[in-house]
Amino acid sequence: MTLIEEARNGRVSPEIEAVARHEGIEPASLARLVATGRAVLPRNIRREGRNTATGIGEMLSTKVNVNVGTSQNLNSPDDEVEKALAAVAAGADAVMDLSTGGDLDCMRRKILEAVRVPVGSVPIYNAAVRKELTSQGLFNALEKHAKDGVDFVTVHVGVNKNTLERLGNDPRIMGVVSRGGSLTMKYISETGEDNPYYSEYDYLLEIAKEHDLTLSLGDGLRPGCIEDASDRAKYMEFIMLGELVKRARAAGVQAMVEGPGHVPANEIKTSVKAMKYLTDGAPLYLLGPLVTDIAPGYDHITAAMGGVIAGMAGADFLCATTPSEHLDLPTKEDVIEGTYVTRIAAHAADLTRPGVSDRARSWDLKMARARADLDWEGQFQAAINPARAKQIRHRRGVETDTCTMCSELCAIRLAKEAMEKGVCKK
Ligand code: SF4
């Protein structure tokens, strides 16, 4: 039985027990969420003992994924493993291998060996790089990834003749910016056939079920610029993904749904609510959303802004964006920066998230108390990145009990002293 089937039969598996303990919720409640598909625990049975269970979905803290992987220009597997390890050290909850350069099978296996968090991948890249962009090639790639132990795969099932017709009726500035989405379009345009992952979805579900592989139904039609956000093709894809989530659940396969992209701040809430509604509350995995197009070099920040709004509206899983987005393959430093900034967005959303906010707020409270006491060690301990906080505090070598911002005019100290003298008493 798959995890979702076990949960439906009322069994609280060790993974559910472990995640529930970590999240501070009742295991039986988590089992119910898994049973209904409102939470997923990506774990391939072939990776047993090598994957620390992580829960994504309702009543669970917002999780962060970090992408790594070679490109055709920059192909250093060791660098990508180092980035994956750095991301996990910085607090990433999952890692996706998006390699498209060199020996993809070797790269994927290295990542699977290196980290203990759930690992995701995109099988269509394998088929494309091996020049096997055929129905057989796509399913061979999927099966290979599943057999290697990948915990979740992105499959761009929403890119099909139906959604592409909507795209044709409502043209965009940027067209399709998803790599998997564009490869699927290439397949459809060259063969005249529909997307095999869509037309043979039952077969895809069989493979996923055999390995208890979680599906991440990709948003191949995600908007690549603010002007293209929330158009007909995008909403048609949401509708299709909702139907496919239902079929995955019925087949005993865990499924989450991916979302856009570039979305103006005032449209994010509607977009998230629509996705949640149309997919019957499936865990929502967001790429960004980036709230503006004009900030290359700062897109980890534009994505974090969107991530907070999306998280407040119900998004469950944020994909880290790095300062290199739209410009270059991220360096290790970019990956670390992107991981922390995305974790900050996830935590900011968690401060308002049902079932999670109390625990999230207790972290902020720790920092507030340390700040009120000018307790620098306490502040470092409560910081999301203690090393960075410490480095900035000590970088000029000026040691004071306040900080060099206001020095002797430290508001916290002056107010505290005044209050101790009774300024607030009648
Ligand atoms: S010196 Fe100013 S910035 Fe620094 S801790 Fe005191 S009030 Fe805050």
Contact (CB, 8 A) for 254 and 16: no
User: Would residue 37 be called left, alpha or beta, if left means φ above 0 and alpha means ψ between -120 and 50 degrees?
Assistant: left
The tokens describing 378, both together, are 């306490």
Q: Distance from the CA of 421 to the center of ligand 1, in angstroms? A: 20
Q: What is the dihedral of CA 243, 246, 251, 254, to 10 degrees?
A: 110
Atom 4 in ligand 1: which residue has the minimum CA distance?
403
DSSP secondary structure of 386-411: HHHHHHHHHTT----SS-TTTGGG-H
Rounded CA-CA distance 371/358 in Å is 20
In the chain the first and final C-alpha atoms are separated, in Å, by: 69
CA distance 174 to 181: 13
Q: Is the CB of 384 under 6 A from ligand 1?
A: no
Q: 405 in ligand 1 pocket by Cβ < 6 Å?
A: yes
* Dist. CA 170–CA 307, nearest whole Å: 27
Residue with tokens 């003298």: 421
pLDDT at 288: 86
Low-confidence stretches of the chain (pLDDT beneath 50): none
- Structural domains in the chain? 42-355 (3.20.20.540), 359-420 (no CATH)
CA distance 83 to 67: 9
Ligand 1 mutation target, pool 412, 414, 416, 417, most atoms within 8 A of CB = 412
Three-state DSSP at 291 gives: coil
Is the CB of residue 245 less than 8 Å from the CB of residue 276?
Answer: no
Residue nearest to atom 3 of ligand 1 (CA): 405
Dihedrals φ, ψ of 94, to 5°?
-155, 160
Name the residue of 403, 407, 408 to mutate for ligand 1: max ligand atoms within 8 A of Cβ. Answer: 403
Tell the burial category of 294 from Cβ atoms under 10 Å away from its Cβ (0-12, 13-18, 19+): exposed
Residue 328's contacts (CB-CB under 8 Å, 6 or more residues apart) are none
- DSSP at 277: H
- Best residue among 392, 408, 409, 410 to mutate for probing ligand 1, ranked by most atoms within 8 Å of CB: 410
393 lines ligand 1 (CB under 6 A): no
CA of 370 to the centre of ligand 1 (A): 12
- Taking CA atoms only, the protein residue closest to ligand 1 atom 6 is 410
Q: At what angle do helices 357-372 and 332-350 cross, to 10 degrees?
A: 110
